[in-house]
Structure 1
Amino acid sequence: MSLPVVEVICAPATEAFRANPRSLPLVAPTFDILKKVDGQIRSYYGLQHEDNSLAYTLVAWESLGHHHELMMDEVTYPPLVDAIQKVIDPFKLKMFHCAFTSEPYRALEAPVTELATFTLNAGQSKDALEGLVDDLSKALNAAPRESGVVSSAWGPTIEFENIVALFIGWTSLEAHLNFVGTDQTTANLVNNLRNISTIDVVHIQLSCYP
């Protein structure tokens, strides 16, 4: 099976979703529509830890084309836009698609998912950036189980040639913070990445829609 393209949306959360981000009745109208769409594999939703006024929805697609076909569907897409307004403000969203280089689901279904984006600095090499992110992801996946790393996966973003996204599943936020302070291999890789890119990190507690 080919690797998925994952649509990542960040948008202001509704008051109802902030109050109960794991409410199936609240999100069901949105994700029941998505489940019936050709090419949709899995969907996720949750609040950002650092700023719980922001919600994330992630949809794994067989291809970018499948998502584009949905957006052009005059029968299915308008009800989807209406339904998702119970969860987020779709008129203030930010979106990108990540073309994963390995299976991402364990990272997305961990208790906490770290989303790190690396924006290449001017004059730096995209190949070098992708190589370092790949090395970091491999180092995380090789970490011992007690480190708290569940899984790591990365990919370039389709819309932005200079941005790479890395998703890391952790057993807890505390596990991530402890790991950062103790693992020298990943610390060195992150320092090298800081030399050529701007790094942004958020944490999300994602739920997978059944």
Structure 2
Amino acid sequence: MSLPVVEVICAPATEAFRANPRSLPLVAPTFDILKKVDGQIRSYYGLQHEDSSLAYTLVAWESLGHHHELMNDEVAYPPLVDVIQKIIDPFKLKMFHCAFTSEPYKALQAPVTELATFTLNPGQSKDALEGLVEDLSQAMNAAPRDSGVVHAAWGPTIEHDDMVALFVGWTSIEAHWNLVKTDQTIVNLVNNLRNISTIKVVHIPMSYYP
């Protein structure tokens, strides 16, 4: 099976979703529509830990084309836009697609998922950036079981040629901050990445829609 392209949406959360971000009845109208769409694999949702006014929805697709087909479907797409307003404001969303280089699902289904984006600084090498993120992902996956790492996976972002995204599943946010301070290999890789890119990190406790 080919690796998925994951649609990542960040948008202002509704008051109802902020109050109960794990409510199946609240999200079901949106994700039940998506489950019927050709090429949709699975979906996740949650609130950002650092700013709980922001909601995330992640949808794994067989290909980018499958998502575009939905967006161009004049019958199926308008009802989706209507019901997703129970969760987010779809008119203020930010979206990108990540073309994963390995299967990401264990990272997305962990107790908390770190989403780190690396945007290349001017004059720096995209190949070097991707190589360092690959090394960081491998170092995370090689960390001891008691480190708190569940799984790491990364990929380039389709909309932004200068940006790659890394998703790391953790047992807790505290485990993340502890490991990046104490594991010297990871510390060195992060420092090297800071030298060539701008890093943004958020954490999202996500739920899988069954």
Q: TM-score, normalised by structure 1?
A: 1.00
SS at match of 1:21: coil
Task: Tell me the amino acid that sits aligned with residue 40 of structure 1.
Answer: Q
Aligned to 1:114: 114
Aligned residue in 2 for 1:158: 158
Structure 2: gaps (5+ residues): none
Q: Distance in 2 between matches of 1:130 and 1:120?
A: 10
> Distance between the aligned counterparts of 1:186 and 1:31, measured in 2?
36
The answer for the alignment partner of 1:65 in structure 2 is 65
The 5 A counterparts of 1:1-210 are 1-210=1-210
> Which secondary structure does the structure 2 equivalent of 1:160 belong to?
coil
Paired with 1:81 and 1:206, the residues of 2 have a C-alpha distance of 21
Q: Distance in 2 between matches of 1:124 and 1:151?
A: 28
**Deviation beyond 4 Å, 4+ runs, structure 1:** none
Give distance in 2, aligned partners of 1:178 and 1:35.
38
Q: Which amino acid aligns with 1:94?
A: K
> Which one-letter code corresponds to 2:174 in the other structure?
E
1:45-102 CA distances to partner (integer Å, 9 max, x unpaired)?
0000000000000000000000000001111100000000000000000000000000
- TM-superposed CA distance for 1:25, in Å, is 0.3
SS in 2 for 1:50: coil
Structure 2: distance between partners of 1:187 and 1:14: 37
Separation (CA, whole Å) in 1 of partners of 2:173 and 2:127:
30
Counterparts of 1:71 and 1:54, CA distance in 2: 23
How far apart are the structure 1 equivalents of 2:181 and 2:122?
29
Q: CA deviation at 1:105?
A: 0.1
How many residue pairs are counted as aligned between the two chains? Answer: 210
CA distance in 2 between partners of 1:187 and 1:51 (Å): 26
